[in-house]
Amino acid sequence: MTTQDGPAWAHAMYDALRAQGVTQIAYVPDAGHRVMIDRSLADPEVHSIPLTTEEEGVALLAGADLGGARGVLLMQSSGVGNCINMLSLTNGARFPLLTIVSMRGDFGEGNPWQFPMGRATQTVLEAMGVIVLRAEAPEDVLPTIQAASTMAFQSGEAVAVLLSQRLLGAKKF
């Protein structure tokens, strides 16, 4: 692929995060994050870090902050459940956190397995002290990412941006 394949909002999101100084991009592979992952792999100034489980990324970004670097964690909503206790590190030590969550189990979902975690995603994040913002339409994405990165990197908050299936398109079954 060329680096311009995929939706424009996804490229705008990558460019905005790089402009904010993000140099560590950690992820569990996911179709909804394809542009971000591919751009990070092609970017010599970024560490592109595949994880085996999402909670590793929460810990990784805490370590990045100790060293003065900024990172972002990409995951699917099912992975939010894997992060719960690890978020006690973020919360207790007041590490900044920026995570971008591609939703499953919401708008138009055709796989019943995805609903339990999809419906719990926002509640679980908020229960662990993470501020949740949502993007439902292409024009929402850039301002939401810019707001979230300011809240995380300038104010030191933990922030999740949920990318709705209305935005991403529901996977066909």
Partner 1 sequence: MAQLKRIPGTNQPAATLDRRDAVPALIERPHDWLVVAGLAGTAQELCAMTDDGPNVFGLGGAMGAGPMMALGLALSQPNRKVLGITGDGELLMNVGALAAIALQCPPNLKLVCVDNGHYGETGNQDSHTGLGVALDRVAAGFGIPTVHTINTMADIEEGKRILAAPGLAFILLRVKDGPALKKPRSLRPHVVRDRFRAALLGEK
Say whether residue 42 binds partner 1 (CB under 8 A).
no
- Please name the residues in contact with 77: beta carbons below 8 A apart, sequence gap of 6 or more: 101, 102, 103, 104, 105, 106, 114, 117, 118, 121, 162
Distance between CA atoms of residues 112 and 100, nearest Å: 23
Distance between CA atoms of residues 25 and 17, nearest Å: 10
Count of residues that bind partner 1 according to CB under 8 A: 32
Say whether residue 155 binds partner 1 (CB under 8 A).
no
Say whether residue 119 binds partner 1 (CB under 8 A).
no
Cβ proximity to partner 1: between 62 and 132 the closer is 62
Q: How far is the CB of 48 from partner 1 (least distance, A)?
A: 9
Backbone angles phi, psi at 82, to 5 degrees: -75, -10
Within 53-92, the residues that bind partner 1 by CB under 8 A are: 53, 55-69, 71, 85-86, 88-89, 92
Residues in contact with partner 1 by the rule CB under 8 A:
23-24, 47, 49-53, 55-69, 71, 85-86, 88-89, 92-95
